[in-house]
Structure 1
Amino acid sequence: MTDLTTLGTEELLWPRYAGPEDLAAIEAVPLEARGLPESTYALLVRAAARWPERTALTVLPEASRWREPLQRTYSQLLGDVHRYANLLHTLGVRRTDAVALIAPNCAELVPATLAAQLAGIAAPINGGLSPDHIAELLRRSGARVLIVAGPELSLDSWDGARELAERGLVDAVLVLRPTKAPEPAPELPVIADILVGYLDALAAEQDSTRFLGQPPAASDLAALFHTGGTTGVPKLAAHRHSGEVANAWMIAANSMVDEESVIFAALPLFHVNALVVTLLAPLFRGQPVVWAGPLGYRDFALYAEFWKIVAHYRIAAMSAVPTVYAVLAQCPIDADISSLRYAMVGASPLPLAVRENFQRHTGVTLVEGYGLTEATCATARSYPDAPRPGAVGQRMPYQQVAVVRPSEDGTWERLSAGETGILTISGPTVFAGYVTDRDENGHRLDGLGTLVDGWLSTGDLAHIDADGFIHLHGRAKDLIIRGGHNIDPASIEDALLSHPRVTAAGAVGRPDVHAGEVPVAYVTVAPESEVTEDDLVAWAAQRVHERAAAPKTVTILDALPVTDVGKPYKLGLRADATRRELLDALATVPSVAGVNAAVEDGTIAATVILDSDADRNGVEAILGRYAIDSKIEVRQ
């Protein structure tokens, strides 16, 4: 154990963390001895005290207006947070009360999120969810105050908020305007007895020097983040202040960045990466953060301007998903991007072709990471100067990882180095549980089977090598099971991505009456490519590791389906594969008008549409050969 009396405050806070060999020395000092702030609010107060006049936020109104940002210093950011939090406090928000936030990124959303964590609990919600899902998340969180994008910022979010208010699901609607919005602001409607007004205007007279309520403690809940959101009603994962602060420190401790490093942020603030990596972690070192416009990486105009933005603001570090780097690898470099030295990638496996294309195009090494909402955000990181092919990184300090095999009795058998099983995590970043209900004492939390003796089951298949690096093998639920044989879709995707014209790939199981599932693949290809689907089937067959994994078909699409944060959406591909299989199976049956397949509550549901004179019994007999949730509709 390190003698702490020989270490100064800065040495305690910022140990060397540049390579895998540094982990043991870091952990020789107990985490509780490092003097981390107690809460996200205390972290902001510390930053404002140390760097009051340093620029904290540079927010672009939109990609095409990147030369017209709104900027706020650290002291101004703290003042905004105080004003917003005091407004929430006057509206009755207390420590165990959630505040819902539904908006694209904008200058007001950043302090609003921090204010919600100060006055109560932030509950960010993806505005792209269905109205019923949003209503259920509001109910589950207990949020009665809604901070939402106004009609200028997101008309869909605003229309949804009006509907929620008219249904009596909230007591107050606090409205956000676009960054650098023109005056005057549009007039807002009167909705029964609901408070409706612009957040910044309503908070204008609030005290900006201090918070009038009781600041949060380390063990208090800071945020409720919904997981996924593309199927069923998402779960609400509860974060404690201690977990968010600890994870932010683990990220900020990276020796490759310093106080002068400018961070680029473009992921939506309803995602943990945006909160922890590009908001909280920079607070530790007073780093300036440049926030993209409301569409973030989904703004096509951003890519045409991206390298100019990097050069102008001297961007040093960025974080994005593989699909973003695949696009950037095709964007001509028209500016000096020498400032960019740390490009982080996560959220989904990084295809080898994307890595090689981006690094060859820019000279910047992509640094993989791994994490999930239930472990706050980040659990593993890589090192540019110590590449480990095939690994997503080494575990971060004070987090422990293990690979286990679940037994029939519910216990976990811990596996040895090199063996593949389910990855599990323990340590200070593991979440408090999922919100299952709420009573007078606050939110009821339950691990719902993911927590065993403080260890979190990630649901990811992985092995850990002898040096402690994590190698992922896909989601357990994404495995293609052909006749009882497990096939890792990544092996198929890697084979296809090795083709020089393939730009993205996704492999899934297609229903099969004999084997249960057979592998099929979907790809996108470079513009004006002449490669055919048959060519790609042959290419993959020659390169996958076993005959059973060779895809039966390869379908070329204009774009692969992704979630709102750019993660591959495998369920969408599985639905299409199901539809194609049933169309083929029913091709010889007269009067079949069509087949639809959709994702319903996390499973694939197929609908076969028949003409009124169709042989219904024959169709039912064919459908009965598959393990598919299906129904028949007769067209009149």
Structure 2
Amino acid sequence: MTEQALWPRYATLADLAAIEAVPLESRGLPESTYALLSRAARRWPDRTALSVLPSGAQWREPRQRTFGQLLADVHRHANLLHELGVRRGDAVALMSPNCAELITATLAAQLAGIAAPLGAGLSRQHLGELLRRCGARVLVTAGPDLAPATWDTAQALARDGLVDTVLVLAPTAPAGALQPLPQLDGVRVGYLADLAAAANPSVFAGDLPRPGDLAAIFHTGGTTGAPKLAAHTHANEVADAWMLAAGSVFDEQTVVFAGLPLFHVNALVVTLLTPLFKGQHVVWAGPLGYRDPDLYQVFWRMVEHYRIAAMSAVPTVYATLTKYPVDAVITSLRHPMVGASPLPAAVREGFQKHTGSTLVEGYGLTEATCASARTFPETPRPGSVGQRLPYQQIKTIAVAADGTWRDLPAGTTGVLAISGPTVFAGYVTGRGPDGYVLDGLGKLTDGWLDTGDLGHVDADGHVHLAGRAKDLIIRGGHNIDPAIIEATLLAHPQVTAASAVGRPDLHAGEVPVAYVTLAAGATVTGQQLRDWARDRVPDPAAAPKTVTVLDELPTTAVGKLYRPALRMDALRAELDAALRGIAGIHDIHIAVEGSRLVATITVQTTAHQAAVKAVLDRYAIAWRTEVKQ
């Protein structure tokens, strides 16, 4: 296929119909993520592909690789994995903060087998369960010089007999000789670079992946408390990356900044795979990513130095950046992208005022590979998270108690459902003689994915969110299953019932808070339970900020837990604290309106309205003010 077929015009809202008039299979997309990388290396062998920063403080000292060098590195690492016995249906676990070697190892894992990224912040028990479920016997992990705590966890997992081989990653720019590695009984341990040094850099020795083969399995939040592994095919990832690359956000001169961790689908699809389509230079943050305080001190100078045009981050990153004066020329920054959690209006407006750049909003989820909708800053649609991407269909449905679906008319609020080439293959539920056993677990029906998100789709394919049908708490883009918090609290001998919900938060979008009931004669306090849960919850991000003791948890007329009442209490508590210093507030009322919570603030004068607005615009919540008559 010609480049013209691969790159249709996609600059305005009106281009969608013309794009979809040509079948996707006629576009000539690469067959796999490896084929995508190989194409880039053939077309731009000497162009810089990566500039990986050792840290925020060392932003002028990157480790750089051309596309040709990147392909050679991937060949070496993939051939080592093949030598270790990794085949097409075998998972390779990757547990490390971002570094130069992790980028290469992730692509190599998708070439030799299946990449299974793990968040190192999860508990050892949780990580062990994920390893058992994915069946990975090779673990690629941060070494003692890169992330000592992660290295300690990796050794513990190896001693538990969960892996046979541990391939150790070094820092992007080691400060001196690397620490020697210990011997672990029955486990092969070595630095990845050393073990792969003699491997063939020119060609991969194994079978090449095909479009329907699995490329990656990502752990994602669920509603049962058990870890879920969502399986992506190579066709899923290539199609989603192409949909983003086809848009006007990316051209060959676009330099992309990457600061999200590679165990997150956004980092993989948006900032690793998508730039390969047009040979774009990606500047990768150090191992702390957007959590590196040094990064913010120099960020605007980095934008000027590298001519950064696009980046992808969660709302809290953009809110933080507005606190730092723009001390450089940042006219190159044209496409800052935001997603993963609701975007407060004040963050959007504040960032645009501070920088002159308009945020490109997006919507997606792991089960639909990554991105399913994006905004066009030149033609804003207030209240929308964007128009659906090409070849993805989005509709609203009503889900009955028995699980059956009913389509809703266009413009009607319901549960969003997605179909198309990015819908995942299913969750890993086991392993049989022919590979992984995959199951939609009730989320897939005739090729349509139940997203669990509430919203509506307008006539132009714009998606408008209206809350979540599922109970996940989203903290800074990190999905938290309330069930793991509840199970932790229920393990306390004095707790008889527990429920966790999200409370709005200026910095993280949401934070988890919990409500409990206690046994007769119990003496434990909410603060003691908060501390108790903090030390035991499997995912540190899920540690509840507060634990409130109630006489009983709210229930419906038929005795089911009524979470909206707890969310109302959590929202009121947050607003009470946020508005405490403003005079003239008569009342704060929280109510359920349709599928969302709405706060009504009654004030004494219109002047007080302005003060309240300045505070509440910083939250991604629905609210209104009324002047007391």
TM-score normalised over the length of structure 2: 0.79
- 2:444 is the alignment partner of 1:455: no
Instruction: Give the corresponding residue for 1:285.
Output: 278
Task: Assess if the C-alpha contact under 8 Å between 2:572 and 2:588 holds in 1.
Answer: no
Instruction: Give the corresponding residue for 1:185.
Output: 178
Task: Assess if the C-alpha contact under 8 Å between 1:60 and 1:69 holds in 2.
Answer: yes
Once residues 147 and 122 of structure 2 are traced to their aligned partners in structure 1, the CA distance between those partners, rounded to angstroms, is 14
SS of equivalent to 2:342: coil
Identity of aligned residues (%): 63
SS of equivalent to 2:145: coil
SS of equivalent to 1:457: strand
- 2:525 is the alignment partner of 1:532: no
Once residues 265 and 463 of structure 1 are traced to their aligned partners in structure 2, the CA distance between those partners, rounded to angstroms, is 31
- Identify which of 410, 417, 425 aligns with 1:417: 410
Task: Assess if the C-alpha contact under 8 Å between 2:223 and 2:472 holds in 1.
Answer: no
- Identify which of 285, 299, 302 aligns with 1:306: 299
Once residues 111 and 145 of structure 2 are traced to their aligned partners in structure 1, the CA distance between those partners, rounded to angstroms, is 27
Q: Which amino acid aligns with 2:189?
A: V
Q: Which amino acid aligns with 1:149?
A: A
Question: 1:234 Cα shift?
Answer: 2.2
Instruction: Give the corresponding residue for 1:335.
Output: 328
- 2:203 is the alignment partner of 1:203: no
Q: How does 1:57-136 map to 2 (within 5 A)?
A: 57-136=50-129
Once residues 387 and 224 of structure 1 are traced to their aligned partners in structure 2, the CA distance between those partners, rounded to angstroms, is 35
Pick closer, same or farther for the CA change 1:288–1:523 going to 2, 3 Å. Answer: farther
Deviations 1:97-130 (A, max 9, x none): 0000000000000010000000000000000000
Q: Which amino acid aligns with 1:91?
A: L
- Identify which of 213, 217, 224 aligns with 2:206: 213
Question: 1:230 Cα shift?
Answer: 11
Instruction: Give the corresponding residue for 2:267.
Output: 274
Once residues 131 and 110 of structure 1 are traced to their aligned partners in structure 2, the CA distance between those partners, rounded to angstroms, is 24
- 2:438 is the alignment partner of 1:445: yes
- 2:315 is the alignment partner of 1:322: yes
Relative to structure 2, which stretch is displaced further, 433-442 or 54-63? 433-442
Pick closer, same or farther for the CA change 1:463–1:85 going to 2, 3 Å. Answer: same
Task: Assess if the C-alpha contact under 8 Å between 2:418 and 2:450 holds in 1.
Answer: yes
Q: Which amino acid aligns with 2:311?
A: M
Pick closer, same or farther for the CA change 1:155–1:405 going to 2, 3 Å. Answer: same
Once residues 362 and 195 of structure 1 are traced to their aligned partners in structure 2, the CA distance between those partners, rounded to angstroms, is 50
Deviations 1:294-316 (A, max 9, x none): 01011121111111111110000
Once residues 200 and 173 of structure 1 are traced to their aligned partners in structure 2, the CA distance between those partners, rounded to angstroms, is 12
- 2:353 is the alignment partner of 1:352: no
Q: How does 1:539-558 map to 2 (within 5 A)?
A: 541=589, 549-550=598-599
Once residues 94 and 152 of structure 2 are traced to their aligned partners in structure 1, the CA distance between those partners, rounded to angstroms, is 14
Once residues 462 and 447 of structure 1 are traced to their aligned partners in structure 2, the CA distance between those partners, rounded to angstroms, is 22
Task: Assess if the C-alpha contact under 8 Å between 1:460 and 1:475 holds in 2.
Answer: yes
Count of aligned positions:
529
- 2:49 is the alignment partner of 1:56: yes
Once residues 380 and 438 of structure 2 are traced to their aligned partners in structure 1, the CA distance between those partners, rounded to angstroms, is 39
- 2:11 is the alignment partner of 1:18: yes
Task: Assess if the C-alpha contact under 8 Å between 2:589 and 2:601 holds in 1.
Answer: no
Task: Assess if the C-alpha contact under 8 Å between 2:223 and 2:471 holds in 1.
Answer: no
Relative to structure 2, which stretch is displaced further, 131-140 or 222-231? 222-231
Pick closer, same or farther for the CA change 1:328–1:545 going to 2, 3 Å. Answer: farther
Once residues 272 and 542 of structure 1 are traced to their aligned partners in structure 2, the CA distance between those partners, rounded to angstroms, is 35
Instruction: Give the corresponding residue for 2:243.
Output: 250
Relative to structure 2, which stretch is displaced further, 511-520 or 116-125? 511-520
Once residues 73 and 39 of structure 1 are traced to their aligned partners in structure 2, the CA distance between those partners, rounded to angstroms, is 20
Pick closer, same or farther for the CA change 1:421–1:439 going to 2, 3 Å. Answer: same
Question: 1:165 Cα shift?
Answer: 1.1
- Identify which of 24, 29, 34 aligns with 2:27: 34
Deviations 1:54-79 (A, max 9, x none): 00000000001101110000000000
Question: 1:522 Cα shift?
Answer: 7.2
Instruction: Give the corresponding residue for 1:606.
Output: none
Task: Assess if the C-alpha contact under 8 Å between 1:129 and 1:230 holds in 2.
Answer: no
Once residues 534 and 232 of structure 1 are traced to their aligned partners in structure 2, the CA distance between those partners, rounded to angstroms, is 40
Deviations 1:467-509 (A, max 9, x none): 22110011113599xxxxxxxx99x96xxx9xxxx77765989
Once residues 127 and 339 of structure 1 are traced to their aligned partners in structure 2, the CA distance between those partners, rounded to angstroms, is 34
Q: How does 1:420-569 map to 2 (within 5 A)?
A: 420-478=413-471, 506=510, 513=554, 516=562, 517=565, 519-520=568-569, 521=571, 532=580, 541=589, 549-550=598-599
Question: 1:535 Cα shift?
Answer: 5.8
Once residues 37 and 146 of structure 1 are traced to their aligned partners in structure 2, the CA distance between those partners, rounded to angstroms, is 28
Task: Assess if the C-alpha contact under 8 Å between 1:503 and 1:523 holds in 2.
Answer: no
Q: Which amino acid aligns with 2:305?
A: H
TM-score normalised over the length of structure 1: 0.78
Question: 1:536 Cα shift?
Answer: 10
Pick closer, same or farther for the CA change 1:450–1:297 going to 2, 3 Å. Answer: same
Deviations 1:500-545 (A, max 9, x none): xx777659897765885151327989xxx99527869758559998
Instruction: Give the corresponding residue for 2:149.
Output: 156
SS of equivalent to 2:236: helix
Instruction: Give the corresponding residue for 1:556.
Output: none
Question: 1:439 Cα shift?
Answer: 2.2
SS of equivalent to 2:324: coil
SS of equivalent to 1:205: coil
SS of equivalent to 1:64: coil
Once residues 198 and 16 of structure 2 are traced to their aligned partners in structure 1, the CA distance between those partners, rounded to angstroms, is 48
SS of equivalent to 1:63: coil
Q: How does 1:595-634 map to 2 (within 5 A)?
A: none
Q: Which amino acid aligns with 1:446?
A: D
Once residues 514 and 243 of structure 1 are traced to their aligned partners in structure 2, the CA distance between those partners, rounded to angstroms, is 41
Deviations 1:437-471 (A, max 9, x none): 11221111000000011100000001112222110
Instruction: Give the corresponding residue for 1:571.
Output: none
- Identify which of 356, 360, 379 aligns with 1:363: 356
Pick closer, same or farther for the CA change 1:433–1:338 going to 2, 3 Å. Answer: same
Question: 1:330 Cα shift?
Answer: 1.6
Task: Assess if the C-alpha contact under 8 Å between 2:587 and 2:601 holds in 1.
Answer: no
Deviations 1:24-79 (A, max 9, x none): 01101110001000000000000000000000000000001101110000000000
Deviations 1:307-343 (A, max 9, x none): 1111110000011111111111221100000000001
Question: 1:156 Cα shift?
Answer: 1.2
Question: 1:366 Cα shift?
Answer: 0.7
Q: How does 1:554-593 map to 2 (within 5 A)?
A: none
Once residues 168 and 67 of structure 1 are traced to their aligned partners in structure 2, the CA distance between those partners, rounded to angstroms, is 42
Task: Assess if the C-alpha contact under 8 Å between 1:537 and 1:551 holds in 2.
Answer: no
